[in-house]
Amino acid sequence: MKWGSTALTARAVRKIGVSLAIAGALATAGCATGPDRNPKDPLEPMNRKIFTFNDTLDTYVAKPVAQFYVDYTPSPFRTAVSNFFSNLGDFSNFANNLLQLKITDATQDLMRIAMNSVFGIGGLIDIASPAGLPKHHQDFGLTLGHYGMPSGPYLVLPLLGPSSFRDSTTWLVDWRVNPLSYSGPEILWPLFGVNFVSARADLIGATDLLSAAALDKYAFVRDAYTQRRQYLLTGGGADTLPDYGDEGASAPEGASAPEGASAPGGSGGGSKEQGLPTYDDPGAAASPAGGVGGKAPAPAESTPKAQPSPSSSKGQGLPQYDDPAAQPAK
């Protein structure tokens, strides 16, 4: 009877402890309040504490190890290590592009894997990028977002850093398609450690800039992460550049002239047509009208012009800046 009551008391204590832990977690994760509250970060109090833990661990453990790695290993070796793990990451890019039905991107990922694995000595040398095969950045979180799943609240994971409710599921697919996941622990964990140090070494400059420039490191990292994820999801929005008319450029043979273009020999989108000043250099020699080897026609005789004064721009051999909008003085 005494033993039974003791067991009952132990179970009650455990339940009370679990209840207190859950209550503490809920209180810590309560919604942030105040005028500066970010609606996408309702878990800010909890996230800030985890961010502080991660930042402290990074300052005293990860960064010194990465700095030692940078200081005492040659640059070609570090590049080869980074290329090796980047090649393994293309397996995840291929799988997620395939899930998103991006056949062209998936084909490029597969070609990158084949080219770098065979001709790049297992991925140590990046042959595919100079060959014109772009590097993609995909994961399962972006795949879910591609099909309309919202990201959910911003979330900071212990040791792993910034994420979201949707992006925290990335490992479900990405880890399974990584060849390292099928190796034994004697190979897996050392390579995982090397990958972590290599990735951290690549970010040393960025974190130094962050520490020097950011007033609120947590808010800066949160905003940078969410904007980067949105960019990867939407492709950066409109990817067209403004049309800057080149006065010396001519349309390819057979191409239709742009709207508003002048007759052949005209600039179409030049400075005069846009009401901008023209910049004529008096020292520039006129090109022959007859093409290469041709002779320029003799200039027609005209009344001699007055010599420019020594103090004027033309008299000093400087370019003239004529404004077509300016009216000649009467």
**Per-residue pLDDT, 148:** 94
Residue-number span of the structural domain to which 171 is assigned? 51-234
Rounded percentage of the chain residues whose pLDDT exceeds 90: 51
Give a yes or no: residue 188 inside a domain. yes
Comparing 61-70, 161-170, 213-222, 266-275, the range with the smallest average pLDDT is 266-275
Give a yes or no: residue 325 inside a domain. no
**Per-residue pLDDT, 273:** 45
Q: How confident is the model over 85-124, as pLDDT tens digits?
A: 999 999 999 999 999 999 999 999 999 999 999 999 999 9
Give a yes or no: residue 222 inside a domain. yes
Q: Max alpha carbon distance in the chain (Å)?
A: 130
d(CA 252, CA 243): 16
Give a yes or no: residue 148 inside a domain. yes
Rounded percentage of the chain residues whose pLDDT exceeds 70: 60
Query: Across all residues in the chain, what is the average pLDDT?
Result: 75
Question: Helix or strand or coil: residue 296?
Answer: coil
| Mean predicted confidence (pLDDT) in 293-308 | 49
**Per-residue pLDDT, 166:** 95
The residue to which tokens 């990584």 are assigned: 178
| Residue 324 token pair | 């077509």
Give a yes or no: residue 206 inside a domain. yes
C-alpha distances in Å from residue 49, one per residue of 79, 162, 186, 200, 212: 34, 13, 34, 21, 21
Residue 309 has pLDDT above 90, yes or no: no
Q: How confident is the model over 45-55, as pLDDT tens digits?
A: 999 999 999 99
**Per-residue pLDDT, 209:** 84
d(CA 286, CA 294): 12
C-alpha distances in Å from residue 88, one per residue of 99, 122, 196, 243, 283: 18, 10, 14, 39, 59
d(CA 158, CA 142): 21
Residue among 85, 54, 250, 97 nearest 180 (CA): 85
**Per-residue pLDDT, 261:** 42
- Of 211 and 62, which is predicted with more confidence? 62
Structural domain total, the chain: 1
d(CA 136, CA 128): 12
Give a yes or no: residue 262 inside a domain. no
**Per-residue pLDDT, 296:** 47
Burial 263-274 (b: 16+ CB within 10 A, else e): eeeebbbeeebe
Q: Are 149 and 99 in contact (CB under 8 A)?
A: no
- Of 167 and 40, which is predicted with more confidence? 167
**Per-residue pLDDT, 327:** 55
pLDDT band at 254 (very low <50, low <70, confident <90, very high): very low
Q: How confident is the model over 153-191, as pLDDT tens digits?
A: 999 999 999 999 999 988 878 888 999 889 899 999 999
**Per-residue pLDDT, 315:** 53
Give a yes or no: residue 128 inside a domain. yes
Q: Are 155 and 165 in contact (CB under 8 A)?
A: yes
**Per-residue pLDDT, 22:** 37
d(CA 109, CA 91): 7
d(CA 47, CA 42): 9
Partner residues linked to 154 by β-bridges: 164
Give a yes or no: residue 159 inside a domain. yes
| Mean predicted confidence (pLDDT) in 213-229 | 91
